[in-house]
Amino acid sequence: LTVRGDGGDIHQLEHRISRLEGVLRLSKMITESGGKIFATNGKKADFDATVEKCKEAGGAIATPRNSGENDAILYFVKYFNSYAYLGIKQSLIPGKFQLLNGAQLSYTNWYPNEPSGRGEE
């Protein structure tokens, strides 16, 4: 990209990105919360493949850090009528969960009687 002194190229790029985001929103492939974009390709995959696809796209598997981000993930769950993998794992203590990097969760929104450790938290 060559940037002209008048900022025309940057404006054109911003416009194209905005149009692309609009198409993806209409296709139910992205949503946003708190300045973060949550995206899906709508395809089923196992956990490891999901983590890898997120990395390939320059992102990371979603980990809700507040109710708005939880709602963004829930948007896809409802639209595709399917569960979603999250960037958390069960710790060494049964029923306790942590981020994939081992850090403690700062936000949870479990259903009643969850987490049970049965894989449907």
- The answer to whether 43 and 52 have CB atoms below 8 angstroms apart is no
The Cα–Cα gap between 58 and 81 comes to 26
Its pTM stands at 0.75
Looking at the DSSP assignment, which residues form a beta bridge with residue 39? 30
Say yes or no to pLDDT of 73 above 90.
Answer: yes
Say yes or no to pLDDT of 20 above 80.
Answer: no
Cβ-Cβ contacts under 8 Å for 40 (sequence gap 6 or more): 29, 30, 76, 80
Helix ranges restricted to H, 57-91: 67-80
Say yes or no to pLDDT of 72 above 60.
Answer: yes
- Domains annotated for the chain, with CATH where assigned, are 7-99 (3.10.100.10)
Say yes or no to pLDDT of 3 above 70.
Answer: no
Give the pLDDT band of residue 15 (cuts 50, 70, 90): confident
pLDDT of residue 99: 93
Mean pLDDT, rounded, of the chain: 84
- The answer to whether 39 and 30 have CB atoms below 8 angstroms apart is yes
For 84-103, write each residue's pLDDT tens digit. Answer: 999 998 888 877 889 999 99
